[in-house]
Structure 1
């Protein structure tokens, strides 16, 4: 899969499957997998929720932009799971599109709410102002709101893959097939 733009960036809302599908795509293509959130946490020496608590979302987004910049410059071909909001910053979106192929892993809000129900406590943007994890209708509303804000940016992806019904292995194959098809069209 030689390409002038070697990186593969998986984007999509939390729970869309980026961190699950990414390693599968990487293994099948012989590429290293990198989760951008893991890189940010490693560089900061603390977990993402601790970064949000200490620096706020703006501080986290600065760290995220720095990490994406570093990954986009790597010589090796990497499959990168971006954070759900990474490409909402125009500079990040342009950088990812210029240095690789952006793949949007799409799932409807109801599917995302079900997938995220048990992990909302670990996700700062799915917590109330008091720091409690959202649940039920409040969780669904937050997901709908964030998804509506992010959808216009996700739509700039080179490729869109629906993850609602397919298991991770089938989604990984769909990503690889779409990448090959895109390469053949270029």
Structure 2
């Protein structure tokens, strides 16, 4: 039996991966997974705690295992963490096992959407804007490298984005 193709959402924090992923999975009638939530459930701890205890490298190890497992499932919509594309193995699994959608957003939009979120360890700094700009410069080329579809989410209603993605995926 052919497994339904999967859709993997990549992009920076605050791009709308979780929100759009939930809506898209309902539209496509596929199961939804959020890799960060899966990691938290397995650890019994939130991501800031994992970063504190194991550092970013420890978190990325856990993330790589979860990405390998989830991308192997077939027939899912997966929202990934913003840094998922920093590991070559993750990029390889995402590219080979489904349709990769880059939800592209501006640093301004990211700041607006993440301002009050304490669950983002990389932004717990005096200058989150500088951090976001630096992350964007490193990660944007990698998001583009793995993406089958690139869609801007700034100033766009999540339902519009989902409708557009559905059209592009089916197309």
Partner residue in 2 for 1:102 = 100
8 Å CA contact 1:5–1:98 kept in 2: the answer is no
Stretches of structure 2 lacking an aligned partner (at least 5 in a row): none
1:147: Cα distance to partner? 0.8
Partner residue in 1 for 2:81 = 83
* Matched ranges for 1:21-170 at <5 A: 21-75=20-74, 77-119=75-117, 121-128=118-125, 134=126, 138-156=127-145, 157-170=147-160
**Which of these two proteins has the greater Rg computed from alpha carbons?**
1
SS in 1 for 2:102: strand
CA RMSD of aligned residues (A): 1.4
- Normalised by the length of structure 1, the TM-score is 0.87
1:101: Cα distance to partner? 0.7
8 Å CA contact 1:9–1:82 kept in 2: the answer is yes
- Normalised by the length of structure 2, the TM-score is 0.94
Say how many residue pairs are matched: 169
Any runs of at least 4 consecutive aligned residues in structure 1 with deviations exceeding 4 A, and if so which?
none
Select 2:167's aligned residue among 169, 172, 177: 177
Aligned-partner Cα distance in 2 for 1:139–1:5: 39
Aligned-partner Cα distance in 2 for 1:118–1:39: 22
Aligned-partner Cα distance in 2 for 1:29–1:65: 26
1:166: Cα distance to partner? 0.8
1:5: Cα distance to partner? 7.5
Aligned-partner Cα distance in 1 for 2:135–2:72: 29
1:4: Cα distance to partner? 7.7
SS in 2 for 1:165: coil
Structure 1 window deviating more from structure 2 (84-93 vs 10-19): it is: 84-93
Aligned-partner Cα distance in 2 for 1:69–1:180: 25
